[in-house]
Structure 1
Amino acid sequence: MEINLVSDTITKPSIEMLQYMFNAQVGDDVYKQDPTVIELEAKVAKIFGMEAGLFFPSGTMANQVAIKLHTQPGEQLIADKYAHVYHYEGGGVSFNSGVSCCLIDGNRGMITAEQVQGAINDPEFYHSPLTSLVCIENTTNKGGGACYEIEDLKNIKRVCVANNLKYHLDGARIWNALIAKNQDPREFGKLFDTISVCLSKGLGAPIGSVLLGSKASIHKALRIRKILGGGMRQVGYLAAAGIFAIDNNWQRLAVDHKRAQEIAAVLQTKSWVATVEQVETNILIFSLQKYCNEKEVIEKLKQKNISISSMGQGRLRIVTHLDYRAVMHTYVLDTIQKLEI
């Protein structure tokens, strides 16, 4: 029994999802003639109370298109120092949009309105790049799956409005945040100019993200997606997986969260673990004692058929997901309990 806890991106479509995909009605989405893609885009837009959506092959492309929508070359966006758009999108911020990042030292990947206000460059001081966009990540990846409070996001929105800044949400794991905090997705739709939501992480679809925004923004995004090579043909088969995932796998995310918390509880009892960061969703980050070698810990778990990942500097990450079954969870808890380093 191989147990992969490296990421929630490793899930495979279920038989039921594959059957739903097989039965999808499709057309040429480049001509906007794929009925299942149109259904998915409308469905996600309605969930978040936004005007329109656009299907993308990846969350990275959706984020990059949003940044391109809201900025001009030479400008600057504000984000947390752990932000996915900065660390894990191949330098696309500079390559695609020609903008720089002002990185804020937030708390577990989350920033405050006061920090945003302090990071905005004086628009009359032409020696500095013009600040034009704030990017928020929810949940935070490197921050250990932390979730923003709605009030904190509203406070940042007020700063954006007062300073004529656009506001983008990288919601790759927003579905997890909505479950963990019992939040209304329409509250997010009211706050942000654009939102990217991923279907291939916690929800278990094989591919795909949707970018949400106004009809005008999504119309512009369609052109940018084309320029970046994101136009797809009979992609309704993949959009069908997204529809199935939302309808069947969204509410069960609470199971992943509970299992991550139970693993954290066991890790906290181990002498070779220095700290376990707060667990709100399905991402668990823990640090080893200084005498421990992280490669040794990873290898010992691998010998027990359990794969986890390193975040460097003695920090390790575990991510629970749809394919991590109850029998696996029992085995992992028992293995960690018995593991000595």
Structure 2
Amino acid sequence: MKTIKGPAIFLAQFMGDKAPFDTLEGICKWMASIGYLGVQIPSWDARCIDLARAAGSKAYCDEIKGVVESCGLKITELSTHLQGQLVAVHPAYDMLFDGFAPEAVRGNPRKRTEWAVEQLRLAARASENLGLTAHATFSGALLWHTFYPWPQRPAGLVEEGFAELARRWTPILDAFDEVGVDVCYEIHPGEDLHDGVTFERFLEATGRHRRCNMLYDPSHFVLQQLDYLRYIDHYHEFIRIFHVKDAEFRMSGKSGVYGGYQGWVDRPGRFRSLGDGQIDFKAIFSKFAQYDFPGWAVVEWECALKHPEDGAKEGAAFVRDHIIRVTGHAFDDFAGANADHDFNRKVLGLA
């Protein structure tokens, strides 16, 4: 069995314009000072990394690693959540998602998609140069506007949507395969890959591509009212990245899982800082120990109530207290369990 690595933290929600959060070195020193051992880096944030330069220069990647490791940390993964989202965008969302792209390709969906695909290719090479084996991203969505079947979905629509999604992603998956890095899609509302069934549809559409894997974040399953523990039983072989994020769903007589267009504070389902929500993390960490999860426990802080610095400080201790140092031997070894073929046959009455 493997002991999960951590605690680590996703830097995206913490980068800012003021020290120590405005440079990679500054934020890494701060995270190390409160107990973190690893950082997941948002590839779109130039304060953290120049993705194009990282893709083309092993020496530059060694510099980035040197900055992080000088603070006592490791890089766990790169993230292209924003760029991955733009690989597939329904026209209804063009205006809202243009903000994720550079100004030069805004208002031009074809150019924006081409830019996003190239960003993923750069991320593959950068991950290789950094010595990473997994990558975090979003799938994007062509079908999300039809998730509720009214008006009735025409026959073949879902199949065509996943076929097109796979057509766009398969060359990207191939690029990651060439460098030995798993693509881990965060299973997330708003993406066409938002639960187990949709992941299976996409996996089949890619021909069960061996680099098609997932990022597990139980908070999104609480908000969908999906069993996040049984999910691990079903899909543990595909889970390569783990976001440790808490959530709660408070039953209401006025709104449900769709939220009534309310802000995060007032929605029945909302994200919380670690320990403030409803998720059974003891059970989750137990399942990851049981299934030999090979990666890191990465805190993703999102909370409508608590200050992010407090969330980060509490998160490090929370993860550290939940990591199970796995045993190296069975608890009943003292009773004597060495294999003896002849003795076993006697026990079975076959001597």
Q: TM-score w.r.t. structure 1 length?
A: 0.31
Question: RCO (CA 8 Å, sep 6+): is it higher in 1 or 2?
Answer: 1
